[in-house]
Amino acid sequence: MGMTMTQKILAAHAGEKSVVAGQFVNCDLDIVLGNDITTPVAIDEFDKMEVDGVFDKDKVAIVPDHFTPNKDIKAAEQAKKVRTFALKHDVTNYFEVGEMGIEHALLPEKGLVVSGDLVIGADSHTCTYGALGAFSTGVGSTDMAAGMATGKAWFKVPSAIQFVLTGKPSKYVTGKDIILHIIGMIGVDGALYQSIEYVGDGIQYLTIDDRFTIANMAIEAGAKNGIFPVDDVTLAYVKEHSKKTPVVYAADADAEYAQVIEIDLSQVPLTVAFPHLPENTRPVSEAKGVKLDQVVIGSCTNGHITDLRQAAEIFKGRHVKKGMRAIIIPATQKIYMQALHEGLFDIFVDAGCIVSTPTCGPCLGGHMGILADGERAASTTNRNFVGRMGHTGSEVYLVGPYVAAASAITGEISSPEDL
């Protein structure tokens, strides 16, 4: 029996000729990632191991991005602990405020992850790098500590669901709409501990940023990882950003899949996930009239330059509705500067938005846009659980950048075609 793309990467990193679903393997790691929330816990566990240092100072990445710039004393203490550890162990890829970005946008941009890599991160959205044809998955802080110390991690080889994407998306339909549509189809546990593997001629119409968004939210369907085949789009991105040599893996023709699901992208509508689960999806046409207090455009899911350009396309020459708050958060410093030089900030500020330094901020109810009781937000972030962006009495509606921008202008969930 052949192997899936994910299984091939795991086999290669375990030194095995082949692996099968359900098998346990011990794999070499290419990158171990942590942030300002998860790394302090990992540091405590790492110190208990009494090792001399991290296994490879070039293969550990630490990015303080959740509560930074420090929002309060506790956040400052966490950041200080992480900074002290990174300097003590000479961690090459430690990115402080001013050079950092949201971790899952920053690592590909810095060229730290390429096709064929195996990456663990103490953050559930580490699965983002599957957009590049890498196996990447979130782990707990203890596993991060063990990874930093040994350069290895245990995995149970996942079975896989294959999504065959055909057709060309309609105008305004983005990667966010596609992944929300998929999660709505299969549910938040529809791919529990499975690999979601994408194939099909529809992939050619997806930008690399679309793919980052889709891979990022694999965890919202319960998946171990999401992964795309490596094509010219992938290789062009890797070549532009990294000096590492990509390794291309492809699923065998006789690979076994638990399910095969076909999606015609031309039939995917602009999609909204209602509170309080990403699976609670409806077409935007069924969400019209939902009044809003705030819009957030950013996060590891939708803070890329493509997302900002899409939002600017809608905001240009228009203004945020009186009483609404619209917050724009570029995912990295490079994206921030690119958007600035392209004139996107002029469009945003003229429209009545604010622009923040890169941070996870409001996505997890951290800072830069906390919701009060009874308030509603449309957000390009990845989760809309109870209390996710603030008060437990608030509501979060997940949308793509086009819908977010249009909604900021009207004050209620809207399609760009409504403007």
Q: Which CATH class is domain 273-418?
A: alpha beta
Of the candidates 304, 252, 269, 251, the residue with the CA atom closest to the CA atom of residue 399 = 269
**Do 135 and 9 meet the contact criterion of CB atoms below 8 Å apart?**
yes
Task: Write down the pLDDT at residue 288.
Answer: 87
Say whether 307 sits in a helix, a strand or coil: helix
**Do 84 and 104 meet the contact criterion of CB atoms below 8 Å apart?**
no
| CA atoms of 208 and 37, how far apart (whole Å) | 28
Task: Write down the pLDDT at residue 194.
Answer: 96
Q: Model's pTM, two decimal places?
A: 0.95
Task: Write down the pLDDT at residue 54.
Answer: 95
Task: Write down the pLDDT at residue 98.
Answer: 87
Peptide bond into 330 cis (omega under 30): no
In degrees, to the nearest 5, what angle opens at C-alpha 132 toward C-alphas 14 and 328?
Answer: 130
| CA atoms of 322 and 326, how far apart (whole Å) | 11
Structure tokens at 134: 């890498």
| CA atoms of 132 and 147, how far apart (whole Å) | 22
- Cα of 308 vs its chain's centroid, Å: 15
Of the candidates 162, 227, 216, 222, the residue with the CA atom closest to the CA atom of residue 191 = 222
Q: What residue ranges of the chain are covered by domains with CATH 3.30.499.10?
A: 5-263, 273-418
**Do 242 and 144 meet the contact criterion of CB atoms below 8 Å apart?**
no
CB burial of 142-158 (b: ≥16 within 10 Å; e: otherwise) equals ebbbbbbbbbbbebebb
Give the C-alpha distances (Å, rounded to integers) separating 73 from 16, 270, 357.
48, 41, 19
**Do 185 and 151 meet the contact criterion of CB atoms below 8 Å apart?**
no
Which residues are within 8 A (CB) of 216 and not within 5 positions of it... i.e. 6 or more apart?
A: 104, 125, 127, 128, 131, 179, 226, 300, 301, 382
Task: Write down the pLDDT at residue 232.
Answer: 96
Q: In 323-393, where does DSSP find H-type helix?
A: 333-341, 344-350
* Fold annotation for 5-263: Aconitase; domain 3 (3.30.499)
Task: Write down the pLDDT at residue 19.
Answer: 96
Give the C-alpha distances (Å, rounded to integers) separating 278 from 175, 216, 390.
14, 13, 17
Task: Write down the pLDDT at residue 99.
Answer: 87
Low-confidence residues of the chain: pLDDT under 70: none
Task: Write down the pLDDT at residue 85.
Answer: 96
